[in-house]
A and B are shown apart, each in its own frame.
Chain A
Amino acid sequence: MLNWSNFAAQLFNGLATGALLALISVGLTIIYGTLGVLNLAHGALFMLGGYAGFVAFQATHSFLLALLAGAGFVMLAGLLIEWVVVRHFYARPAEDQILVTFGIGIVLVELVRAAFGSLAQTMPPPAWAAGVTSLGFLIYPTYRLLVMGIVAASLLALYLVLYRTRIGMVVRAGIEDAGMVSILGIDVQRVFLLVFGIGAMAAGFAGVVNAPIVSIMPDVGDNILVECFVVVVIGGVGSFPGAVAGGLIAGEIMSLTAMFDPSYSAVMLFAAMTLVLALRPQGLFGVAGRE
């Protein structure tokens, strides 16, 4: 439906959905950039965060505690996964890494399904953010506005950690050249463990933030994973600003296409990815030649 009010509404909505995509994609891109592992369990970790948050919410009825529990639980799960499985695959071919993380994802999803069943679980937004807010040009769910704020704040926090702290410097150095970092006497293995934990935490955190918007189900991460890959490819694999920009671009493409014909939303998203790959294979913010 093409009119100015709908255009403004979709433009704004693209920003909101893009922000959430950016948050999930950041975890994926940090892990890939540093460890060189394409973590196909990322969607499952996102799902796990939703369930951990849901359980915490049931027990405490506090949205804030649910956020902390979701992020914390999935970080622990991430550390465990890296420690038990993934670290043994750094030296192995990429296809082995893809298969093992894919397998981990299936195990997580089916464990959750066995425990909670396939029916959707509901986690309401905080009571003060439950209604709609009128922005003049559109009426928008208050919680989705809150999500934009949460995402902006957490991305800023992540940025500060990565770009303004010593550990962040080591991580970024690891992205550029893990071998050199190791030669400089830094325990790369510990850094890798930490990075995997942080990446998983970002997914878990996003899972809780997303929970009041969509229903919590065992399969909730499947579609998200595909969209995140598109985001990471568009933004540039391993690039933090790339994931943020890619997320926003993907959100806008899907929203604005839906204004003309919703059935072409996904098509346009993949067309954009194809275009980026053809013209700038390293992605918008990627560095050519980096693994």
Chain B
Amino acid sequence: MDEHHRNDTDGMSRRAVLGGLAGGLLLPTFAAAEDAPIGTYPAGATGDSVFVGITVPLTGAYAAQGQDVRKGFELAVEHLNTGNELIRKLSPLTKRGVLGKTVSFGVADSEAKPNTAIQAQSRFITQNKAIMIAGSVSSAVAVALNKLAQREKVIYLPGISGSNDTTGKDCVRYGFRTCFYGYTAAAALAPVLAREIGHNKKVAYLTPDYTFGHTVQQSVEAFTKGFGWTTATNQVAPLGAPDFSTFLLNIANSGADIFVDIGFGADAVNSVKQAKQFGILDKMKLVVPYNTPFLAQQVGAQLMQGVYASSDFWWTYSEQNEIARMFVAAFEEKYHYKPEFGADDGYLQFAFWADAVERAGTFYPPAVIKAYEAEVRRPSTVGEVYFRAADHQLVRPIFVLRGKAPAAMKGPDDYYDIVELTPGASVMQPPTLFGCKLGPYT
């Protein structure tokens, strides 16, 4: 491991020296000459522009969140190509484009289905020589694209992916995640729940039936156990079920005090609304361990008031953080709404990718990966962050939110108070806990 790291640094500094001598434009030629072809390199990096393949769900239960992620990606590309001041705070070496090349991209609908996403990204890789692929809302897609990325040796950046597996048991050398996940969400949320709601509660879970739902449920259960919280029932529901009545009846009859709704996207909206219809929200306290972008807008502040939720970002953080303020302003100007955390993660992903490529001085994937793994700290929309070398997870703060009462809202988008901003390092598991083995560089 030590030797490994030393090699990394050697490679880095050599390139840095070369970069200083040769200047930005000459360098890729040097790199291409010395590095053997791998993945879409050098074929995808020879022209004036590089291509990025984006797959997000544009239809189905996660469509609204997919659009949010997509807009974050697109704003970042625009900022990269124009050398915008904001993106240069996250990627200080950026001038215009990435290594002087314009970034172009294609977007395909993943339908939140792994097979569809794999097909679309495979097309982007073979036909467009995509130098990097990105996007997800479902962790099932993120895990599948992780595997594709490792096999094809093309760097992959998920958008939203809340499963512990994405940088846990299914982590890969070629994948990097910025967003939070079950373990960090639960670790940040549990102490707040114990403090605000109390100890020794009975919990009913509504869990989507795939990697995201299962790992978030396990993490919340594990972290609240210490406060005497026990599971009354765990209702596992398929992704995209329009009617949750059968599950909600079981929950209504479970005798629980707390209703933990892990549903995401349209499932979160439907299950919260229907829980209200079944009288569950009147007798149980709702907790949302992995908040869905646009949830409060869609179910209304009336239902969300007093609800605790973990999140990746909330726009009122811009009152405390200059980069967040610039991001929210730029995003709102272009898209006419306050960015949700999907957009924030999309933006961060592309900015940090550009930063890693600029630091590597080449698009050669192993060098870019090693630049990522140098654990360089960068300021961001959520404070200072860095990628952990051992599992490629961004170490980042977690937002614990509480829904505001309608009367307390200062504007139409002012749905949450930021109760706590939990530092990233304090809520991360040891990299080995979920069995992450990153795999080879080449």
A interface residues with partner B (beta carbon < 8 Å) = 1, 3, 5-6, 9-10, 13, 16-17, 109, 113, 117-120, 122, 132, 138-141, 143-144, 213-215, 217-220, 222-224, 254-255, 258-259, 261-263, 265-266
Docked-complex contact A219 and B59, CB < 8 angstroms: yes
Expressed in whole angstroms, the Cα–Cα distance for A219 and B57 within the complex equals: 12
Contact of A213 among B241, B243, B299 (CB under 8 A): B243
- B236 CB–A CB distance under 8 Å: yes
Docked-complex contact A214 and B253, CB < 8 angstroms: no
- B300 CB–A CB distance under 8 Å: yes
Expressed in whole angstroms, the Cα–Cα distance for A117 and B253 within the complex equals: 36
- B269 CB–A CB distance under 8 Å: yes
Expressed in whole angstroms, the Cα–Cα distance for A6 and B251 within the complex equals: 10
Expressed in whole angstroms, the Cα–Cα distance for A119 and B293 within the complex equals: 10
Q: Beyond A122-B300, A141-B277, A215-B298: 15 further Cβ-contacts under 8 Å?
A: A1-B253, A113-B59, A118-B66, A119-B298, A122-B273, A122-B299, A132-B277, A132-B279, A138-B249, A215-B273, A219-B59, A219-B60, A222-B240, A254-B246, A266-B238
- B81 CB–A CB distance under 8 Å: no
Contact of A258 among B66, B209, B247, B254 (CB under 8 A): B247
Known: A3-B253, A258-B250, A262-B235. A223 touches B242 (CB 8 A): yes
Docked-complex contact A265 and B246, CB < 8 angstroms: yes
B interface residues with partner A (beta carbon < 8 Å) = 58-61, 63-64, 66-67, 209, 233, 235-238, 240-243, 245-247, 249-250, 252-254, 266, 269-270, 273-274, 277-279, 294, 297-300
Expressed in whole angstroms, the Cα–Cα distance for A139 and B283 within the complex equals: 12
Expressed in whole angstroms, the Cα–Cα distance for A220 and B269 within the complex equals: 13
Inter-chain contacts of A140 with B (CB < 8 A): 278
Expressed in whole angstroms, the Cα–Cα distance for A113 and B63 within the complex equals: 10
Contact of A9 among B61, B241, B249, B298 (CB under 8 A): B249
Inter-chain contacts of A3 with B (CB < 8 A): 253
Inter-chain contacts of B299 with A (CB < 8 A): 122
Docked-complex contact B243 and A214, CB < 8 angstroms: yes
Docked-complex contact A214 and B270, CB < 8 angstroms: yes
CB distance from B288 to the nearest CB of A (A): 16
> Can you report 23 residue pairs joining A to B where beta carbons are below 8 Å apart?
A1-B253, A5-B253, A6-B249, A6-B253, A10-B249, A13-B249, A109-B59, A117-B64, A120-B298, A122-B300, A141-B279, A144-B277, A214-B270, A215-B273, A215-B298, A220-B242, A223-B240, A224-B242, A258-B246, A259-B246, A261-B236, A262-B246, A263-B238
Docked-complex contact B269 and A262, CB < 8 angstroms: no
Docked-complex contact B246 and A118, CB < 8 angstroms: no
Contact of A17 among B67, B245, B279 (CB under 8 A): B245
CB distance from B268 to the nearest CB of A (A): 10
CB distance from B135 to the nearest CB of A (A): 16
Docked-complex contact B60 and A1, CB < 8 angstroms: no
Expressed in whole angstroms, the Cα–Cα distance for A265 and B60 within the complex equals: 20
CB distance from B116 to the nearest CB of A (A): 14
Docked-complex contact B269 and A215, CB < 8 angstroms: yes
Inter-chain contacts of A138 with B (CB < 8 A): 249
Expressed in whole angstroms, the Cα–Cα distance for A255 and B250 within the complex equals: 10
